[in-house]
């Protein structure tokens, strides 16, 4: 499978970043895209299928896995934390 490069992030990749969503649960693939770790939904799904996405420290391959407040999603060193509006 071809590896998809991540978009350039303005923040330090080692610093977790809170991402505020309107409602939970939110699907993992949607959150990866919404959080800016992928430019498209298809790219987010590919990252997940490649095993490059960690959910709370464990590789997650379920694209539609439901996330809750406080869940930590990590992709290639960039960590996002689910927060509710």
Taking only the tens place, the pLDDT of each residue in 7-54 is 544 445 679 999 999 999 999 999 999 999 999 999 999 999 999 999
Q: What is the pLDDT of residue 2?
A: 57
DSSP string, 50-70: TT-EEETTEE---TTPEE-TT
Cβ–Cβ under 8 Å, residues 37 and 45: no
**Tokens standing for residue 17:** 């970043």
* All domains of the chain in start order, with CATH: 17-84 (3.10.290.10)
Give the HSE-up count for residue 49: Cα atoms under 13 Å, Cβ half-sphere: 10
Categorize the per-residue pLDDT at 3 as very low, low, confident or very high, splitting at 50, 70 and 90.
low
Is a pLDDT exceeding 60 seen at residue 5? no
Q: CA-to-CA distance for 84 and 60, rounded, in angstroms?
A: 22
Quote the pTM value.
0.84
Is a pLDDT exceeding 90 seen at residue 4? no
């Amino acid at each position: 499978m071809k590896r998809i490069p991540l978009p350039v992030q303005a923040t330090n990749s080692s610093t977790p970043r809170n991402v505020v969503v309107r409602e939970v649960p939110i699907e993992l693939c949607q959150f990866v895209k919404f959080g800016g770790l992928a430019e498209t939904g298809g790219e987010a799904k590919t990252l997940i299928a490649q095993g490059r996405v960690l959910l709370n420290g464990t590789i997650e391959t379920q694209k539609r896995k439901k996330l809750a407040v406080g869940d930590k999603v990590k992709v290639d060193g960039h960590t996002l934390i689910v927060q509710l509006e």
